[in-house]
A and B are shown apart, each in its own frame.
Chain A
Amino acid sequence: MFRHTYRLNFTFGKVLVDRAVRGIVGLGKVEASLEDTQHFLQLLDEGRGLIVITAHVGAWQWAMSELSFTGRRMHVLYRRDVGDVDRQYFEHSEEAEPPHFIDPCSDFGGVIEIMAALKAGEVVCAMGDRVMGDSGNTVEAPLFDGTIHLPLGPFVIAAKLGTPVALVFVPRTGPCRAQVLVPRVFEETQGIDPKLMVFGLARELEKFAQENPYQFFNYYDLWDLPQA
């Protein structure tokens, strides 16, 4: 157990160093396949916007800002904790237009802002593996022989508006290097049961964690569900 814990924390340390190097010196690269890039652009051209669901895995902290390759304005659903510096990282990055942040704890859980952005054909990025804001809107999904709570909100919005949803993970592949993985895209979402997409996310998250066991950085007991 000690060895696994050490390796997990050591990898997380590398991710944090990467972020600092990327932010201060500007070195580093996030690689996205041409196929995925074109797929995203094609979806965005349909004018339905795009919801990108990612998770606390790999180099998520600095890789999210690199998703600007779509050329569309990006909004990040983000709750700032005390002492959190992630937001400053994005705001002071050298991106021409840093992401716009939507607070999930603001009025109506930020859904009006999210829906307005999607109607304008823009990109909304949300963490799919941790509950923020309204903790009541979750779904129990299976993960590694247990059950965890995952947020439902972004998937409900997708199903209402017919917005495509892309699951995106960005594993660290080397010093200051990461790769955009798109394990699944839900293209036709209008009217489908949002829970099906949440279960799909849980499956892909499990697969990612199996393949990258030291790049899954949720440092709390996911399975410790509140008693009903």
Chain B
Amino acid sequence: MQLRQQVKEALIKDLNLQSITPEGIEDDAPLFGDGLGLDSLDAVELVVLVQKRFHVEIKDMDEGRVAFASVNTLVKFIEERR
């Protein structure tokens, strides 16, 4: 399975986005705010998700801003670091 698909499925499962399908998540849409609508508590889940499922650590805010901009940036971040 492609990493992009894995990321989307992990987002839906771990963040309990029950009404959303992987196809419904746009690759370039923002994860936080207007796009997927995640909030700060979701950020906690997201940091843990990325570490547990993809063995990549978000070490600081700068990395978080880059990685958590969209699905595409998150996939790129994971690919570069694992």
Contact of B64 among A108, A153, A156 (CB under 8 A): A108
State which size class the interface on A falls in: 20 to 34
What distance in Å separates the Cβ of B79 from its nearest Cβ neighbour in chain A? 20
Binding site for A on B (CB under 8 A): 32, 39-41, 43-45, 47-48, 58-61, 63-65, 68
Binding site for B on A (CB under 8 A): 104, 106-113, 115-116, 133-134, 136-137, 152-153, 156-157, 160-161
Do A116 and B60 touch (CB < 8 A)? Answer: yes
Give the distance in Å from the alpha carbon of A107 to the alpha carbon of B67 in the complex. 13
Residues of A within 8 Å of B63, CB to CB, are: 112
Query: B47 — nearest CB in chain A belongs to which residue?
Result: A115
What distance in Å separates the Cβ of A88 from its nearest Cβ neighbour in chain B? 23
Contact of B43 among A112, A116, A161 (CB under 8 A): A112
Q: How many A-B residue pairs have CB under 8 A?
A: 53
Contact of B40 among A116, A153, A160, A161 (CB under 8 A): A153
Give the distance in Å from the alpha carbon of A136 to the alpha carbon of B37 in the complex. 13
Give the distance in Å from the alpha carbon of A68 to the alpha carbon of B61 in the complex. 24
Residues of B within 8 Å of A134, CB to CB, are: 39-41
What distance in Å separates the Cβ of A186 from its nearest Cβ neighbour in chain B? 17
Residues of A within 8 Å of B68, CB to CB, are: 108
Residues of B within 8 Å of A116, CB to CB, are: 59-60
Give the distance in Å from the alpha carbon of A161 to the alpha carbon of B48 in the complex. 8
Do A152 and B41 touch (CB < 8 A)? Answer: yes
Query: B45 — nearest CB in chain A belongs to which residue?
Result: A160
Give the distance in Å from the alpha carbon of A104 to the alpha carbon of B65 in the complex. 15
Q: List 29 A-B contacts (CB under 8 A).
A: A106-B61, A107-B64, A108-B32, A108-B43, A109-B41, A110-B40, A111-B40, A111-B41, A111-B43, A111-B47, A112-B47, A112-B58, A112-B60, A112-B61, A112-B64, A113-B60, A115-B44, A115-B47, A116-B60, A134-B39, A134-B40, A136-B39, A137-B41, A153-B40, A153-B41, A156-B41, A156-B44, A160-B45, A160-B48
